[in-house]
Structure 1
């Protein structure tokens, strides 16, 4: 027998309280508590089948990870080699970034080559999806489309159609009738996600789930959603720019922090197999405030251009603006340049931008950012034409080694770069190449570059 109880649930973190509170004690968010009905089930006798008893790991037969080829190499890369059967993948991104476009292209490819695919939309009608499919040339008889938000009816559709791949667009629109809260609430998202995970695992069907993001760019809904799924993908980019970057945040079947690069066109998302060449397409190598750096995203070496602009200001608080670079990392580099090289930035506005819309993670670009800033302050370009720069800057002004340096140099050679500035401690593995310059400190680097 069940008993109903009223509780207040924080829509940011899922914290439950018997009474309403203005501020959540768990995540410190204001005005996020919503009243919901919670059903309490009395304890009953539990029966355990023979298939679900604890057993020795020695006796368990490991299963092979069977994958579907999506025919989109950049998507296969971020998934770790393809779509794993029985997996639950979450994809999020800003509105209009191209999530539904990518999934419809994927659905068309899999239905063409493997079998039935079910596309469930809670935001668009069947006619709207057909219009997009016409534009993307994704019209196949095994691609089934339905507009539905009731999770129980969706489960029935899955059992009737028997698809090999299911897309849910989006999780915030689904609801379970026995729960009284509105679609998109913590309770609904949590319960619907549990149902989808059960369907995926028991039927060995891969599911793709689309999720909305907040104004701050974070995944909307409870954090438990990220913990439940096998893979979390995030679409980056500006709607006004043509390039899109698909990044892996979590992956139980492959490498994390992997990226896939796409270009948005009228006919859909076109994969970019060599992103370094695209990011450096219009680079002028003899321009002040500009430097080309090498970074590693997952297993892929990528070369991008970093631009810096330093201008004098009379304001008491100079501006520090960075796009694609963490503001804390920029502040650290400016502090080292002021302390160790006596270059004043306290009376200057500083702007740093990564060309192409890529967000830099890690410390690969420290040295390149520092040289771009110095180039802008002095008003002179880096004298070495077609130079790639890589290295981490320490607080004492030393240039520290980075991983995969040889891979970055090989990528630079493919793109026609003539000089390479790398940390001195990385020279041991790369001394077979010509025109590779090793530096151990910022001061030594300045003498060789300017």
Structure 2
């Protein structure tokens, strides 16, 4: 009998190590490396011809790449316009979709409603290794979803699941979750690196060989990455992650990989008693136009994630009572704020660096990597220091260089259109983002090329 091979695998990121370490060199997690013994013995239930197989459909025939026939993508409506848009226009037949998220993020809630809608199109099977059939049924009734055509199975045996899918002619499969799936011929326990990898590979072959659409629920690690081996991310055609916003009522769905669409799209949902409801205009979540006008407030048209969101930026500049002025920021990069204060002093002659300065991005939105927020932040800080009140219908965006130039930002036209759609009447933007065709009746566009131009606004 062959000797068992010993490997050391990080349970957080799935990285292999030649020996045990206290800290994973890949994800920096402590005490996460576990010893695994992989048996080289092929059991009777594992045919030798399948011992070495790829992750997708096998086709040994050699063809000219230019002569390969076009693949017509068949897409199915998921029942959610937001989910459809993130997937590239609907879920593709024969694809494997990975949906990850923290516990309670809404993975099972979203996919149960999706499965209910897909069951009206073709036979659908929902397999749950974490909840009983009664729990899943009760959730479906609470969500008021039509679950009459959903078939459910409480099993994580992937070989059994694949056999049922092919034999009974199912078109859609939801596995909740891949961490509870297993192949009985493997000695490892469910959730282990080998089980997750081989289970996902078998389900991927099911999708490619039989045209079955597979949706896999995935856990996440402490660092927020998808739990399990990295190969899991390579197997999936589309990888989505559900993230809760600062207000736990809202959820954001993002894609980091999509073989059939764009990865810049994001979807916003509201978690309600009836499940995940589409938020068609997410700017309404982050934008407050109903409050009274006050100094230090400025609206910003963000497009860092590929979808334009209108956000409120607040600043408070007050006389310092300490030897060293205080700098406080929520949702903004502290070092970039220091740089903008230096630009204000050197390029505009506005010296407010001796004051305590606080910056807040409303609703907890993170703009630490969004350079387009430079212009609205400068406007907010000057507004606060001079007690100047901007109209609630004023919005701005633009990056500021060290020479004081106001640089253009990507998707400038989309930002302007979104601002106009939300009834903003004054839009301050970089001159190189300005275009005459953006002129709209009742809306004033103020293009600026240098920070000195900004002073003329006050």
- Determine whether 1:180 maps to 2:192: no
Q: 1:392 to 1:16 in 2, by over 3 A?
A: same
List gaps (5 residues or longer) in structure 1: none
What aligned pairs does 1:28-47 form with structure 2 within 5 A after superposition?
Answer: 28-40=28-40
Which residue matches 2:4?
4
Q: 1:258 to 1:132 in 2, by over 3 A?
A: same
Answer whether contact 2:296 2:384 (CA < 8 A) is retained: yes
Which residue matches 1:19?
19
Offset of residue 208 of structure 1: 1.4
Task: Give 1:115's match in structure 2, choosing from 122, 125, 147.
Answer: 122
Which residue matches 1:436?
445
Hey, what's the Cα distance between the residues in 1 that align with 2:101 and 2:353? 36
Which residue matches 2:111?
103
Other structure's SS at 2:89 match: coil
Offset of residue 18 of structure 1: 4.5
- Determine whether 1:74 maps to 2:82: yes
Hey, what's the Cα distance between the residues in 2 that align with 1:217 and 1:50? 34
Which residue matches 1:291?
298
Normalised to the residue count of structure 2, the TM-score between the two structures is 0.86
Offset of residue 163 of structure 1: 1.9
Which residue matches 2:374?
366
Q: 1:50 to 1:77 in 2, by over 3 A?
A: closer
Which residue matches 1:136?
143
Offset of residue 394 of structure 1: 1.8
Which residue matches 1:447?
456
Hey, what's the Cα distance between the residues in 2 that align with 1:322 and 1:413? 27
Answer whether contact 1:69 1:76 (CA < 8 A) is retained: yes
Hey, what's the Cα distance between the residues in 1 that align with 2:438 and 2:246? 43
Other structure's SS at 1:352 match: strand
Q: 1:315 to 1:270 in 2, by over 3 A?
A: farther
Hey, what's the Cα distance between the residues in 1 that align with 2:98 and 2:2? 33
Which residue matches 2:165?
158
Hey, what's the Cα distance between the residues in 2 that align with 1:410 and 1:225? 39
* More off after superposition, 342-351 vs 391-400: 342-351
Other structure's SS at 2:39 match: strand
Which residue matches 1:214?
221
What aligned pairs does 1:252-271 form with structure 2 within 5 A after superposition?
Answer: 252-271=259-278
Answer whether contact 2:289 2:392 (CA < 8 A) is retained: no
Other structure's SS at 2:372 match: coil
Q: 1:386 to 1:126 in 2, by over 3 A?
A: same
Other structure's SS at 2:379 match: helix
Hey, what's the Cα distance between the residues in 2 that align with 1:187 and 1:46? 14
Offset of residue 349 of structure 1: 5.6
Which residue matches 2:69?
61
Hey, what's the Cα distance between the residues in 1 that align with 2:420 and 2:24? 54
Answer whether contact 1:96 1:239 (CA < 8 A) is retained: no
* More off after superposition, 213-222 vs 130-139: 213-222
Answer whether contact 1:93 1:99 (CA < 8 A) is retained: yes
List gaps (5 residues or longer) in structure 2: 43-47
Hey, what's the Cα distance between the residues in 1 that align with 2:191 and 2:354? 47
Other structure's SS at 1:236 match: strand
What aligned pairs does 1:309-328 form with structure 2 within 5 A after superposition?
Answer: 309-310=316-317, 312=320, 314=322, 318=326, 320-323=328-331, 325=332
Answer whether contact 1:366 1:390 (CA < 8 A) is retained: yes
Hey, what's the Cα distance between the residues in 2 that align with 1:428 and 1:240? 37
Aligned length: 446
Offset of residue 25 of structure 1: 4.2
Which residue matches 2:45?
none
Offset of residue 260 of structure 1: 1.4
Hey, what's the Cα distance between the residues in 2 that align with 1:409 and 1:152? 53
Offset of residue 171 of structure 1: 1.8
Which residue matches 2:98?
90
Answer whether contact 1:97 1:238 (CA < 8 A) is retained: no
Hey, what's the Cα distance between the residues in 1 that align with 2:245 and 2:451? 34
Hey, what's the Cα distance between the residues in 1 that align with 2:268 and 2:404? 34
Hey, what's the Cα distance between the residues in 1 that align with 2:18 and 2:58? 40
Answer whether contact 1:308 1:350 (CA < 8 A) is retained: yes
Answer whether contact 1:305 1:354 (CA < 8 A) is retained: yes
Which residue matches 1:235?
242
Q: 1:348 to 1:189 in 2, by over 3 A?
A: farther
Offset of residue 392 of structure 1: 1.4
Offset of residue 318 of structure 1: 4.3
The CA deviation string for residues 21-60 of structure 1, in whole angstroms up to 9 with x for no partner, is 3234445443222111113479999999994133211221
